[in-house]
Amino acid sequence: MIERTLSIIKPDAVERNLIGQIINIFEKNNIVIRAIKRVKLNKKDAENFYSVHKDRPFFNDLCQYMSSSDVVVMVLEGENAVLKNRELMGATNPKDAAKGTIRNLFALSLDKNSVHGSDSKENANIEIKFFFKDLAN
């Protein structure tokens, strides 16, 4: 089923000029970049976006980091895009990420792990609406 998901290229990857290389991985895997923009989140934006993690010990550091410099937000579209994006991203901790995944290739650490991706279709809709009002599934 063709579906949409939200991807964010995090500050560490934007700062290292990896936007093109990351998009290339999506496009080589039949994912279409349906929408894209480069934005600087403020701390409140990041807290709202990551509100599911508000009780986790890393919440403050995560929101601080995600609002530290520009990110690139994208709506990805394709067959099973939610799961496919998660597969292409690799595990949260780059030490555990499978070879050839985005996090295996580019991530610096557990927090500076280069990309965000929605973890379910339900959350994809919530996250897409956060940045691109009209594009939810």
71 C-beta neighbours (distance < 10 Å), count: 22
Distances (CA, A) of 101 to 52, 81, 96: 25, 15, 10
Closest-CA residue to 128 (of 81, 76, 87, 78): 76
Q: Does residue number 3 form part of the binding site for ligand ADP (CB under 6 A)? A: no
Using CB under 6 A, which of 9, 62, 63, 71 touches ligand ADP?
A: 62
Closer to ligand ADP by CB, 81 or 134: give it: 81
CB of 113 to ligand ADP, least distance (A): 5
In one-letter notation, the amino acid at residue 24 is N
116 annotated active-site: yes
Closer to ligand ADP by CB, 125 or 134: give it: 125
Chain centroid, CA 115 distance in Å = 4
Judged on CB neighbours under 10 Å (0-12, 13-18, 19+), 86 is middle
Nearest-10 crossing angle of helices 81-89, 19-28: 130
CB of 66 to Mg ion, least distance (A): 12
Using CB under 6 A, which of 3, 45, 70, 119 touches ligand ADP?
A: 119
Choice among 81, 82, 116, 128 that is catalytic: 116
Q: 64: which 2 tokens? A: 């601080």
CB of 111 to ligand ADP, least distance (A): 4
Site string for ligand ADP, 12-51 (x = CB under 6 A): ----------------------------------------
Rounded CA separation 128/136 (Å): 6
By annotation, the residues acting in catalysis are: 116
Site residues, Mg ion (CB under 5 A): 119
